Amino acid sequence: MAGGLILPLARDPSSRFLPWITGFMVFLAALALAAAMAVSNASSDWRRGLTGTLTVQVLPIAAETDPRALEARVAAAVALVRNAPGVARAEALPPDRMAAMLAPWLGDGAVIADLPLPRLIDVELAGGAPFDSAALARRLAESVPGTSVDDHGVWLRRFAAFARAIEVTAAIVVALISAAAIAVVVFATRSGLVVHRDAIEILHLIGARDGFIARQFQLHAMALGFKGGVLGLVLAGATLALLFHFAQRIDAALLPSLGLGAVQWTALALLPVAAAAIGMATARRTVMRALRRMT
């Protein structure tokens, strides 16, 4: 027993179920956190990709029957945009590249060439000063009919709101899981105090301080929490690896790349430590409060 626990807490019924419950909670917490982090990563990636760019659309006009007229409007728009202050690069997407982008939905046939599709101008902004896309839209509308400017702002704001909602939901889920974990540890510790009441009284009578008795429970809860945490983390790791594997197999054009960075995997790997810390702190507080009510 030297160096080990004096109270036989490992024989308590709670010692059998606590690691499994902790494992289940860490599993759920890991999935919630991983989802939040993956969505946050995707949001950042897309924001990085879209910030500093905008798209100008040159729409076909019904009265315009000569295709060269559309090309002329596109050329005029490109020239105007290139001369606008704050624009680093402006380039019209060639029709064949647009056809390639639409091929997954419309097929490779000649039908695309016959469709009245808008022509797109990809614009890259110079970094630094903020760009006034509304002013550019006004100037384009005055000079080149049938144009519109999309700075992706609306889409980005909606996606950012979605990412934030996922993060808040994950935080709520983790908070609820933590609260449930605390409740389980409190229950298990209280039942341990009842089961070992006689031994605790003897320890008190031979001069054990409350902290000494609490240490018995907190070390036990810490060990069980860590054990369950590792179990839950292994299961969550396997599940996430599987999910990310399937996500990568889906066409990249449909989904942003889902995955976690090394720091995020490390954060998830610390969940068993967090579970152990929650168990330890909760058990200590529960025991200290209960012992204060004793003689």
- Taking CB under 8 A as the criterion, the residue among 63, 198, 251, 254 binding other proteins is 198
160 Cβ contact partners less than 8 Å away, ≥ 6 residues apart? 43, 47
CB of 209 to other proteins, least distance (A): 5
Stretch that binds other proteins, among 43-51, 168-176, 204-212, 234-242 (CB under 8 A): 204-212
- Taking CB under 8 A as the criterion, the residue among 143, 183, 212, 261 binding other proteins is 212
For other proteins, the closer of residues 138 and 209 by Cβ is 209
Query: How long is the chain?
Result: 295
Tokens 């292994």 locate to 234
Indicate whether 1 belongs to the interface with other proteins (CB under 8 A): yes
- Taking CB under 8 A as the criterion, the residue among 68, 245, 249, 292 binding other proteins is 292
Alpha carbons 149 and 120: distance in angstroms, whole number: 10
CB of 2 to other proteins, least distance (A): 5
For other proteins, the closer of residues 65 and 295 by Cβ is 295
In angstroms, how far is CA 244 from the centroid of its own chain? 13
Alpha carbons 51 and 83: distance in angstroms, whole number: 20
Alpha carbons 270 and 131: distance in angstroms, whole number: 43
What is the spatial order of strands in the sheet that 147-150 belongs to?
A: 87-92, 119-125, 53-58, 147-150
Alpha carbons 111 and 47: distance in angstroms, whole number: 33
Indicate whether 203 belongs to the interface with other proteins (CB under 8 A): yes
- Taking CB under 8 A as the criterion, the residue among 62, 129, 154, 206 binding other proteins is 206
Residues in contact with other proteins by the rule CB under 8 A: 1-3, 6, 8, 11, 198-199, 201-209, 212, 292, 295
